[in-house]
Amino acid sequence: MGCPNCGGDELAFPVPDAVREFLPDDRPAATLCATCLWVSPADDAPDEYPDFTRVSGALPSDGETGAVVAVLLALLDRLVVHRADAEAVATEAERRGVDVLLVLDRLAADDGLDPHLDLARRRRQLEQLI
């Protein structure tokens, strides 16, 4: 099964407890597309967090923290509807030592990606929230 948006390879990850309540879908896992950064809910959670740096060196090397950032990417895609949730997840990522605005800058600059969302625009919108 590939990404529903671009057909690319996906990375499956468990949704961290700390941010699960902020996702519109309450399934235990999700997948992140390694090409377009599309996030889909998934039923089967892998036992361990994957290495998100396989998607981009811009993502945190700590798997659980990477998963928090992936959840943020899911919410940024629908930021208008999920403002408060995105703000809460961004705050959780920052609490774990992630500079989320810098991560978005670096993802936008990563030539290995073809993001389906306008990262520069979402970054500006997020900057106004946090």
Contact positions toward Zn ion, by CB under 5 A? 3, 5-6, 8, 33, 35-36, 38
Q: Which is nearer to Zn ion, 8 or 41 (CB)?
A: 8
Q: CB of 39: closest distance to Zn ion in angstroms?
A: 10
Q: Which is nearer to Zn ion, 18 or 29 (CB)?
A: 29
Q: Which of 4, 60, 3 is nearest to 33 (CA)?
A: 3
Q: Vertex 7, ends 70 and 87: CA angle to 5°?
A: 20
DSSP labels, 15-80:
PPHHHHTTSSS--SEEEEETTT--EEEES---SS---GGGT-TTS-SSHHHHHHHHHHHHHHTTTT
DSSP 116: S
Q: CB of 11: closest distance to Zn ion in angstroms?
A: 11
Q: CB of 71: closest distance to Zn ion in angstroms?
A: 17
Q: Which is nearer to Zn ion, 8 or 28 (CB)?
A: 8
Report yes or no: 15 and 85 within 8 Å, Cβ to Cβ. no
Q: Which is nearer to Zn ion, 31 or 65 (CB)?
A: 31
Q: CB of 70: closest distance to Zn ion in angstroms?
A: 13
